[in-house]
């Protein structure tokens, strides 16, 4: 039987990719953004869920301005923590499944091997802390058939992101400096959206489970920028710099590679290699040369 699925943050990178892929999915999707549904209002969530007979919520909404969050603590907490708490409560009270998207920033980046789901968290920024608080609230409330997916370095043909920024700067400048001592894996939001849709019919658990998802491979932001210029055939030299030479309000993890063995084994999904996904995104943007 077809399900009624609410997707919050429907106009963001991930929400937009889910929207596009959902056109061939048999379920009924309801895409909302802050204008249609204020997820920091528990009563509003409950009313929407009951009115539209929602079976599953995919929470793609988040406050993702990492540096701005350092000073905009209240709003970051409202979206990344309290809204997740309310979604989880409504999900539990009404027997609704919940998929919530979290981040590699819940870790401090001091690991020497890819992070497992049960590794110790220690966020170094307000963004990371509020996202972790959201995770904790959801796990405490514990709605059935629900999961948290931690991801990293998200980009898409939709919205603002690193790939689009590099393309723009690569056309305007002969030379750019990019950080080489922060290492992880990018995530093409379209791949993550596809994985979420594959997971939907398999949701079955008594307690909230955490999974990691990024594209396969390991690289630095410097490597990522180099490959973008190469694929887009932009004549822009990329020079490596250290994090200390590019100070930002929020501290970022130096190493945030996520181990994806658990999600692959549990849901039988194949994760694309980061270069293949970048290639597809650039083609969709009309930037692949």
Q: Which positions are annotated as active-site residues?
A: 127
Alpha-carbon distance 288 to 281, whole Å?
Answer: 9
d(CA 87, CA 83): 6
Q: What is the DSSP letter of 80?
A: I
Question: Burial of 271 by CB count in 10 Å (0-12 exposed, 13-18 middle, 19+ buried)?
Answer: buried
* 254, two tokens: 């130096």
Dmax (CA) of the chain: 56
Question: Which structure tokens are listed for 50?
Answer: 């009951």
3-state secondary structure 50-73: HHCCCCEEEECCCCCCHHHHCCCH
Q: How many CB atoms lie within 10 A of CB 134?
A: 28
3-state secondary structure of 280: helix
Residue 184's Cβ-count burial label (10 Å; 0-12, 13-18, 19+) is buried
Q: Report yes or no: 287 and 232 within 8 Å, Cβ to Cβ.
A: yes
């Amino acid at each position: 039987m077809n399900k009624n699925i609410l997707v919050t943050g429907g106009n963001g990178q991930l929400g937009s990719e889910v929207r596009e892929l959902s056109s061939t999915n048999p379920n009924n999707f309801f895409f909302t953004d802050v204008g249609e549904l204020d997820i920091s209002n528990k009563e509003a969530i409950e009313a929407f869920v009951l009115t539209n007979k929602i079976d599953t919520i995919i929470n793609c909404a988040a406050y993702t301005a990492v540096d701005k969050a350092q000073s905009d603590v209240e709003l970051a907490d409202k979206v990344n923590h309290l809204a997740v708490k309310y979604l989880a409560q409504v999900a539990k009270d009404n027997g609704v499944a919940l998929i919530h998207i979290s981040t590699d920033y819940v870790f401090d980046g001091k690991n020497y091997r890819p992070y497992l789901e049960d590794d110790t968290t220690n966020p170094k920024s307000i963004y990371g802390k509020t996202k972790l608080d959201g995770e904790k609230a959801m796990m405490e409330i514990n709605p059935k058939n629900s999961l948290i997916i931690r991801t990293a370095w998200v980009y898409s043909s939709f919205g603002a992101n690193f790939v689009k920024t590099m393309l723009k700067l690569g056309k305007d400048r002969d030379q750019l400096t990019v950080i080489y001592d922060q290492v992880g894996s990018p995530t093409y939001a379209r791949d993550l959206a596809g994985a979420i849709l594959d997971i939907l019919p398999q949701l079955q658990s008594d307690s909230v489970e955490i999974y990691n998802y990024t594209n396969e491979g390991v690289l630095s932001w410097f490597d990522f920028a180099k490959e973008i210029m190469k694929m887009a055939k932009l004549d822009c030299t990329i020079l490596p710099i250290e994090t200390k030479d590019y100070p930002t309000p929020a501290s970022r993890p130096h190493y945030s590679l996520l181990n994806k063995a658990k999600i692959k084994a549990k849901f039988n999904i194949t994760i694309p290699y980061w270069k293949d996904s970048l290639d597809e995104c650039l083609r969709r943007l009309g930037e692949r040369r």
